[in-house]
A and B are shown apart, each in its own frame.
Chain A
Amino acid sequence: MGKVSKSPWLLHYDASSCNGCDIEVLDCLTPKYDIERFGIINTGDPFQADILLITGGVNSQTERVVKQLYSQMPEPKVVVAVGICACTGGVFKECYNIRGGIDTVIPVDVYVPGCAARPEAIIDGVVKALAVLDEKQAVMKTPEEKER
């Protein structure tokens, strides 16, 4: 395990979801699922986050917010799209104000399906994301070393 994956901190943003997935994300913090077991802290601050958990399909207003938050996170960072809405837009994809999945705005590393995504699924997704995080960190390090 790399350094990052031992202490991944989350940033959760609701990009126009129905709350279903959000409360399940929050539920992961609570005693039954307690993702702090993995060293995960739910921080509200993009500057300190490693994993961006997004729920809901993106609409015209949240698009900017999502991009902004993503840009304020330091590398290495991964994006996890939680819920069908975040994956594809789900039942709302035909709405006039929905862009579709999160991947229409920023690159997504892990998709967690489910409506609402179950806490177990979210945990699985985060665990998957950790692997991606480690990979990214490895990539981040190598070019630097080559330069020297």
Chain B
Amino acid sequence: MIPFLIGIPAVLAVVFQIVRNEKIRGYIVYAGAGAIMAMTVVFIADWIGGGAKTWMFYPRTETIDHLMTAGDIFLMCLIVWLSVRYKRVLPMILSILQTVLVLYVEFTAEVTEGPHMMVDWLTILMCIIIAFIGGFICIYTVGYMKGYHQHHKDVKDRQPFFFSMLFLFLAAMFGLVLSQNLIWIYFFWEITSVISFLMIGYTRAEEAVGNSFCALWMNLLGGLGFAIAIVLMALGQESLQLTEVVSTGALLPLMCLSLAGLTKSAQLPFSTWLLGAMVAPTPSSALLHSATMVKAGVYLLIRISPALSGNLVGLIVSSIGGLTFIMASMMAIAQNDAKKVLAFSTISNLGLIVACSGIGVEETVWAAIFLMMFHAVSKSMLFQSVGATENTLGSRDIEDMHGLIIRVPRLAYIMGIGIAGMYLAPFGMLISKWVALKAFVDSGNVVLVLCIAYGSATTMFYWTKWLSKLLCRHIPRDTVKDVTRKDEYLSMLFHACVMLLMCLLLPLVARWLVNPIVRQLFGNSKDVLSMSVLATMAIMLVSIFVVPVAMFFISRRSHTELVPIYMNGINEGDNRFFTNSYGEKEHLYLSNWYLRFEFGRRHLRIPSIIIAAAVLVIGICLVIGGVSW
């Protein structure tokens, strides 16, 4: 089974290089995505049928190991070549360094053999996310890229390449979450870094190239951390099993892996790369933010989180997470580019997840997993709808989405659900926050409690203003034609439905999916939230859901006399103009608040990076010092 999961997308990636016809390619994408999803379903069914036990696979895999070694070297060469071409030194050094380290381990170190792959509940969850969200993003991409290239004539059409990368990404992600051996994980890890680098540089514009290298070196730094962790594990513990890392709990390897996780999940001080990644076409952002890339980082952290509980590494990770949560959400306030807002919100949400896994107790991990799920769905949905809106309106400025509910109602609804999913009760994000807060309090970390208190306030601010801009019933000057294609809608609708379903079925999800994960990770069977609490909560939440709908129909029955809006008595006909001081018609314009002087990136970025970097450096020094003692 597993080879198929990784193999199908990988093979498809090759196929796209061959197939040049757009139509056919589209069908292959549909089929491929369908196949991946189907495979995943079958796989899961099989696994559950098999008792839902943790499976360990492939203890001996000589050939594949060698292939991977070759792959590592190939990746290194690729990076070196590209670095030379674009004259960047840092990525080259990092890449060579880590590959050498890994190769060194592979050829010299004596390690106890163990399974190379593992399937447990967490893996299953990740597979679902990758297969379904990733799959639908691929479907969405087919329609999107057509629109994209109609808009951006200056960008060279390299769609085959793009689709290859998408599917390769999925393959790598499958590999990553299914692997258990550190070298294997490392291999897939590197692939994701490189692919994201390639995707960010899709347009080959100056900015894109710059940003892609930024992403590359940051991720390679994480990769270096990973490589060091491998060396340490190999030399210190003589094992390359991820489970071993957790069970031995040696601080230094944990620190190194955490570093890798932090870079990948774009935590401060490494958040720059994810912001830079916005130059890529939207589907790649969607993919990076929801189903893949950053999720790899949090996946790793969640995996090792039981070992982080109550030690120094955990403290560092959770502090950085908390800091990221609040700083990124503050910086999001000052953004008016929709994708930037989404990027900051991703960073900030991941911050919360990271903080949760840094604390590393059952409740926090429970919350982290929930957050991850909701985040994956709603982010993917938001990115897609922003992308579609951009194609339709020709802009992705939030200000330009004024009155989207009138202009392109369908997109507005989808975007609205996505936004609501990010922060409103009854959606799951909020419940997860609830649990996280409780867990932070229990863990006695007052700073994190404050972080979450302030951070959720700032989060609320930027989402609300976006939402209200969107839902403003403002009759626009010019109508626009919705150019969103069917496959794009299909994908977005799917996400919306999943979102709603997850809210409605929250207790069930908690019971059947999340609780088992936590149980397996921590090896005990304590339920984080009792079923009754969840059930009452769900009832409350559903009733909140129902209220607006009911109210809508009630208010429908009453008649309201429509009058013009209040403009100090100087309206000019409709609701868009007023008489200005020169006695002429003036276009009323309402902009959101951005608090640029207070929360601008310029003011907050440098200090927050410095603080985060300081925490990290001091932390690492302490850990190293602690080891040498």
Contacts of B564 in A (CB 8 A): 68, 71-72
Q: Does B505 contact A (CB under 8 A)?
A: no
Q: Which residue of A lies closest to B579 (CB)?
A: A64
Q: B395 at the A/B interface (Cβ < 8 Å)?
A: no
Q: Which of B563, B566, B570, B579 is in CB contact (< 8 Å) with A45?
A: B566
Q: Closest residue to A62 on the B side, CB-wise? A: B569
Contacts of A119 in B (CB 8 A): none
> Hey, which chain A residues are within 8 Å of B563, CB to CB?
47, 71-72
Q: Is B592 an interface residue (CB 8 A)?
A: no
Asked if A65 is at the interface of the complex by the 8 Å CB criterion, the answer is yes
Enumerate chain A residues within 8 angstroms of B464, measured Cβ to Cβ. Answer: none
Enumerate chain A residues within 8 angstroms of B570, measured Cβ to Cβ: 64-65, 68
CB of B571 within 8 A of chain A? yes
Query: Hey, which chain A residues are within 8 Å of B561, CB to CB?
Result: 74
Interface residue tally of chain B, by bracket? under 10
Within 8 A of A (CB), among B553-578: 561, 563-564, 566, 568-571
A123 at the interface (CB under 8 A from B): no
Asked whether A29 is an interface residue with its Cβ less than 8 Å from the other chain, the reply is no
Chain A nearest CB from B52 CB (Å) reads 61
- CB of B566 within 8 A of CB of A47, answer yes
Could you tell me how many residues of chain A have their Cβ less than 8 Å away from some Cβ of chain B?
Answer: 12
Residue A132 lies at the interface, judged by CB distance under 8 Å to chain B: no
Shortest beta-carbon distance from A140 to chain B in Å = 12
A65 near B569 (CB under 8 angstroms)? yes
**Looking across the interface, which residue of chain A has its beta carbon closest to that of B563?**
A72
* A68 to chain B: closest residue by CB: B569
Chain B's interface: helix, strand, loop or mixed, by majority? loop
Chain A residues closer than 8 Å to B579, beta-carbon distance? 64
CA of A13 to CA of B570 in the docked complex: distance in angstroms?
A: 13
B contact residues around A65 at 8 Å (CB): 568-570
0/1 per residue, A51-70, Cβ < 8 Å to B? 00000000000001110110
Give Cα A65 to B568, complex, Å.
Answer: 8
A39 to B443, CA, bound (A): 54
Nearest neighbor of B570 in chain A, beta-carbon distance: A65
Alpha-carbon distance A121/B579, docked complex (angstroms): 35
Bound Cα distance A104, B299 (Å): 75
- Flag A5-29 by CB within 8 Å of B: 1 or 0 each: 0000000010000000000000000
**CA distance in complex: A44, B568 (Å):** 10
Of B563, B564, B569, most buried by chain A (CB within 10 Å of CB) is B569
Query: How far is it, in angstroms, between the C-alpha of A47 and the C-alpha of B563 when the chains are bound?
Result: 9
A83: interface (CB < 8 Å): no
| A46 adjacent to chain B (CB < 8 Å) | yes
Q: List B contacts of A66 (CB < 8 A).
A: 569
Q: Give a binary string over A74-115; 1 marks a CB under 8 Å from any B CB, 0 the rest.
A: 100000000000000000000000000000000000000000
Taken together as a complex, chains A and B put the C-alpha atoms of A66 and B570 apart, in Å, by 9
Out of A13, A46, A74, which one reaches B566, CB within 8 Å?
A: A46
Write the nearest CB–CB distance from A110 to chain B, whole angstroms. Answer: 21
Complex Cα distance A93/B103, Å? 99
The docked-state distance in angstroms from the alpha carbon of A33 to that of B174 is 79
A46 CB contacts on chain B under 8 angstroms: 566, 569
Chain B residue, CB-CB nearest to A73? B563
Give the CA-CA distance A69 to B571 in the complex, in Å. 10
Residue numbers in A under 8 Å from B571 (CB-CB) = 68
Smallest CB-CB separation from A46: which chain B residue?
A: B566
Across-interface contacts of A69 in B (CB, < 8 A): 569
- Shortest C-beta distance, B123 to chain A (Å), equals 58
Please name all residues of chain B whose beta carbon is closer than 8 Å to the beta carbon of A47 when the two chains form the complex: 563, 566
**In the complex, which residues 492-512 of chain B have their Cβ closer than 8 Å to any Cβ of chain A?**
none
**A40, B579: Cα distance in complex, Å:** 31
Complex-state Cα separation, A13 to B568, whole angstroms: 11
Residue of A46, A68, A69 with highest tally of chain B CB at under 10 A: A68
**Min CB–CB distance A61 → chain B (angstroms):** 9
CA–CA, A145 and B579, complex, Å: 41
Q: Count chain B CB atoms within 10 A of each CB in A47, A69, A72 and give the residue with the most.
A: A72
- Chain B residue numbers with a CB within 8 Å of A45 are 566
A147 to chain B, nearest CB (A): 12
Residues from chain A with Cβ under 8 Å of B568 in the complex: 65
A65 to B569, CA, bound (A): 5
Give chain A nearest CB distance to B584 CB in angstroms: 14
Bound CA–CA A68/B563 (angstroms): 10
Cα distance A46–B561 in the bound complex, in angstroms: 15
Quote the shortest CB–CB distance from A72 to chain B (angstroms): 5
Q: How far is the CB of B215 from chain A (nearest CB, A)?
A: 52
Q: Return B538 CB to nearest CB of chain A, in Å.
A: 39
Contact with B along A130-148 (1 / 0, CB 8 A): 0000000000000000000
- Whole-angstrom distance from the CB of B570 to the nearest CB of chain A? 6
Select from chain B the residue with minimum beta-carbon distance to A67.
B569
Residues of B within 8 A of A72 (CB): 563-564, 566
* Chain B residue with Cβ nearest A13: B569
A47 to B566, CA, bound (A): 8
Q: Which residue of B lies closest to A66 (CB)?
A: B569
| A/B interface sample: 24 pairs, CB < 8 A | A13-B569, A45-B566, A46-B566, A46-B569, A47-B563, A47-B566, A64-B569, A64-B570, A64-B579, A65-B568, A65-B569, A65-B570, A66-B569, A68-B564, A68-B569, A68-B570, A68-B571, A69-B569, A71-B563, A71-B564, A72-B563, A72-B564, A72-B566, A74-B561
Chain B: residues with CB nearer than 8 A to chain A? 561, 563-564, 566, 568-571, 579
Other CB < 8 Å A-B pairs besides A64-B569, A65-B568, A72-B566, 7 of them?
A: A46-B566, A64-B579, A68-B570, A69-B569, A71-B563, A71-B564, A74-B561
